[in-house]
Each structure stands twice: as structure tokens, then as C-alpha cells.
Chains A and B, each alone.
Chain A
Amino acid sequence: MNDHQSTFGRVMEYFQNNMDWVIELTIEHIILVGSAIMVAILIGVPLGIYLTTNKKLAGTVLNIAGVIMTIPSIALFGIMVPIFSIINYGIGFVPAFVALVLYSQLPIIRNTYTAIHNVDPQIRDAAKGVGMSTIQRIFKVEIPNTIPVIMAGVRTAVVLNIGIGVIAAFIGAGGLGTLISQGITRGYHEMVISGAIAISILGISADLFLRFLQKLLTPKGVS
């Protein structure tokens, strides 16, 4: 017990001494994950909506996204690095960013697709019946009614990406994973544990924040 307390004490001490660096790494992490998610949403949501009009393609795209999801993150990084080194971006932000965008696609596309697909046909008919254009219908009826499901997909993607972002540190993308990768190399346990704790806190707070955001963005009548 004593030993654990002292480990805990040393970890706290590490945090105090390196606060600025930890914050800097946290911001790096958020930027990596955040920018990847933004791009993933910009691709995934329109694609998910489009797929509801093309069932054949929907099957193909969801299968591809599904296979990408089963690829272990470290293996995907391992494959990205040689490919991107062709254009001299082998190590660093770019391969990590691309991998995170790819991983986010399945939850975002799938949730958007199923949500729009499951919009009550009567609501859709009613929207057509009152004379809305397709664009109006999508923005005024379908998206508001599907926000909870789409947001749940985004949340899954964010939580997933925060974890995968840790591994990105091993290919030089920075972020909180740096504490773990350097800590392991240097056999510096307090650094490793600090990294693990910081990441866990980031993951849990992101999840909570997005749940809150999901509630906020969901129109009152939609459950």
C-alpha cells in the first residue's frame, strides 16, 4: 500500500513539474483528433445521406469501412508510413491524420445511413406533401430527426480516435501518446502512468462533453 501511495505521489509530482508540456501535448492531441473528426464528418455525413439513395453502393462502402475498422491501428500506421514516405510525409501528422479519418468513417457513415434510412416514411411524405424541396427536406426534417443517432456515431468515432491518437505518437504525430512512448523507451514509469491517466481523463471528458452536446443539439421533440 505504501509503495502504491508513493507511486501515486511520484505521478502527481511528475504532473506538477511538467504541467506545461502535458497541456501542450493535450492540445496537440485535441487538434489531431479534432481536425480528423471534422474532415471525417464532412466526408461521412454527406456520404451517409447519399448512400440512402444508392443501396448497392451502400453495401459496398459499409463493407469497406467495416474492413478498415478491423485493421489494427498500429498495423494501419505501419502500412501508411511507407506509403506516405513516397511523398516524404512518412512520419508525423499526415499518416496519423489520414488513418484517424479512415477509422472514423464506419461509425459516422453507418449511423448517418441507418438514421436517415429509418426516418419514418410518413414524416418524409408529410414533408413532400407540404411542398418542401429535397434540400429543405434533408435540412429541416431528416437531419433534425436523426441528430441523436448521427451524434452517437460521432461520439463513438471521437472516443475511438482519442485512443488511436495515442498510438500515433509512435509514428511521431505527437499528442499525449508521446508521454507513453518516451516513458517506455526511457523506462520512466511515472511518465507512462501520467500519460495513461491524462489520456483516460481526456477520453472520459470527451465522451461526457459529446453526450452533453448531443442532448443540446437534439430538438426537444426527438428522443
Chain B
Amino acid sequence: MGQTIITWSVRIVVYVALVWFFIWTITNGYFDYLVNNFEEFSVLLRQHFQLVLISAGLAILTAIPLAILVTRPMFKRFEGIVSTIVNFGYTIPNMAILALMMGVMGIGFKTAVFALFLYSILPIFRNTLAGIQSVNSSLIDAAQGMGFKPYQILFRIELPNAAYSIIAGVRTAVVINIGAAALASLIGGGGLGNWIFTGIRVFDNGILLSGAVPLTILAVITDLILRLIERKIVPRGTRPESS
């Protein structure tokens, strides 16, 4: 009983805070800027999507095959080295990668995409690798014994059983990417970050929140949608809660 009361009080506090925040922003007219500049907003949003989709798409196409490659018997000996490099890469902040790329490639959309791409590779690669490695070796043994060809083992056993982990990696990468793409405006990548940094620079809460709130909503909703997709396409027998 006491536990339920505490749980509900926490929930109510959070809901009240959220409602208060929106009432406060609206009564202060902070979103007027968004409403008055809706056309610019849609341009920025489209840029943002482009940044995320191109970089995440390229990252998926690079990271998953790479992880598959290093788990094949032929390349197994590179597995350790590659994972170490990737783990190290993970401790480097995304802002640092953006900044480094700018130093090397100059300012612009391409630089932004490339930096975001580099950073998105890490979670996808890491999760694909972990997913494939965690497939029980007895499954592989059974499949081999039943006459699966190597590609059939990969596509029918390893990838489906690693799907949960792989998709979780893609989700992490995309959500991080949405945030990182906002930083890309600093190096001329455009996107919703434009308004946020302008708002900070000119001390205008309206511009700032017109960029920050939609960006937050975009990230949270994308995460939700990807979780739903995850539920749909991960084979039922391999979801973690089921084992």
C-alpha cells in the first residue's frame, strides 16, 4: 500500500512538472518564435532528418557487415583488436569527433554527416558483435550437424538470434545521432541545433526552446517508435524477457 502511494506520488510529481513546464513556456510566449517561423522550422527539421538518416544508414551498412566479418572463422583473429579499438572510440566524446573532423575536413554538411557516421558505427558494431558472440555455440553445432551451409547458419541462426541486440544498437545509435546532429549545426551541418545555439548566443529563451523542445520530442518519440519496431521484428523466442 505504502509502496503504491510512493510510486504514484513520484509519477504525479513528474506529470505536474511536465504540465507546469508547458504552461509556463506557452504563457511566456516562448513558442511564438516557432509558430511565426514555421517554414524555417520545417527546413531545419528536414536537414536534421537528412543528417541522421544518411549517417545512421551508412553506419548500419558499415558496422553490421564489419561485425559479421570479424566473427567469421577466417577473420576471428582480428576480433580482439577491432573490439578494443571500438571500445576506445566509445570513450571519445561525440563533440570531440565533430571538432576533429571539422579540423580535418572543414565546415559543412559532408563533414557533419561523416562525423555522425563515425560515431554511429560504434554502438551498432558493438551490439552486433556482442549479439553474434552470445549465440549459444550448441546452436551452431546443431545447425552444422544438420547440414546448414555457412551462409544459412549466418542468416537463419546467428542473425535472427542476435537481432534483439543488433536492433538495440541501431536504436541507441539513432537516438544519440539525433542529439549529435544538433551539434552539427556548429560546423555548418544545419538542423534544429541552429535555433538552439542561436538562442544561447543571443539569450533568447523563445528561439532556444523552439529548437530544444522539438528536438527532445523528436528523440523521445524516435526511441519509442524504434522500440515498437524492435518488438515487431525480433523473433519472439529470442527476446531477453523470454529466456
- Is A–B contact present in the complex under a CB 8 A cutoff? yes
Are A71 and B216 within 8 A (Cβ)?
yes
Question: With an 8 A cutoff between CB atoms, is B97 at the interface?
Answer: yes
Give the contact stretch, choosing among B39-47, B69-77, B85-93.
Answer: B85-93
B93 touches which one: A56, A77, A162 (CB < 8 A)? A162
Q: Tell me, in angstroms, the Cα distance from A190 to B103 when the chains sit together.
A: 7
Question: With an 8 A cutoff between CB atoms, is A73 at the interface?
Answer: yes
What is the 8 Å Cβ interface bit string for chain B, positions 154-194, against chain A (1 contact, 0 not)? 00000000000000000000010011101100110000010
Question: With an 8 A cutoff between CB atoms, is A189 at the interface?
Answer: yes
- Cβ of B240 to closest chain A Cβ, rounded Å: 12
Question: With an 8 A cutoff between CB atoms, is A115 at the interface?
Answer: no
Are B7 and A75 within 8 A (Cβ)?
no
Q: Tell me, in angstroms, the Cα distance from A53 to B93 when the chains sit together.
A: 36
Question: With an 8 A cutoff between CB atoms, is B220 at the interface?
Answer: yes
A70 touches which one: B21, B92, B200, B219 (CB < 8 A)? B219
Please classify how large the interface on chain A is, using the bins under 10, 10 to 19, 20 to 34, 35 or more: 35 or more
Are B99 and A73 within 8 A (Cβ)?
no
Q: Tell me, in angstroms, the Cα distance from A193 to B212 when the chains sit together.
A: 27
Are B10 and A177 within 8 A (Cβ)?
no
Are B92 and A203 within 8 A (Cβ)?
yes
Could you tell me which residues of chain B, from 210 to 235, have a CB within 8 Å of some CB in chain A?
211-213, 215-216, 219-220, 223
Question: With an 8 A cutoff between CB atoms, is B96 at the interface?
Answer: yes
Q: Tell me, in angstroms, the Cα distance from A67 to B92 when the chains sit together.
A: 23
Give the contact stretch, choosing among A78-86, A106-114, A141-149, A212-220.
Answer: A78-86
Do A60 and B10 form a contact, CB below 8 Å, given A184-B186, A196-B97? yes
Question: With an 8 A cutoff between CB atoms, is B148 at the interface?
Answer: no
Question: With an 8 A cutoff between CB atoms, is B209 at the interface?
Answer: yes
Main secondary structure of the interface of A (DSSP, over half): helix
B106 nearest in chain A by CB position:
A189
Are A78 and B6 within 8 A (Cβ)?
no
Q: Tell me, in angstroms, the Cα distance from A147 to B4 when the chains sit together.
A: 30
Are B95 and A166 within 8 A (Cβ)?
yes
A54 touches which one: B7, B178, B193, B208 (CB < 8 A)? B7
Q: Tell me, in angstroms, the Cα distance from A49 to B94 when the chains sit together.
A: 32
Are B183 and A82 within 8 A (Cβ)?
no
Are A166 and B209 within 8 A (Cβ)?
no
A199 touches which one: B14, B95, B175 (CB < 8 A)? B95
What chain A residues lie within 8 Å of B183 (beta carbons)?
Answer: 74, 167
Could you tell me which residues of chain A, from 175 to 223, have a CB within 8 Å of some CB in chain B?
177, 180, 183-184, 189-190, 192-193, 195-197, 199-200, 203-204, 206-207
Question: With an 8 A cutoff between CB atoms, is B30 at the interface?
Answer: yes
Do A166 and B93 form a contact, CB below 8 Å, given A79-B209, A192-B99, A193-B103? yes
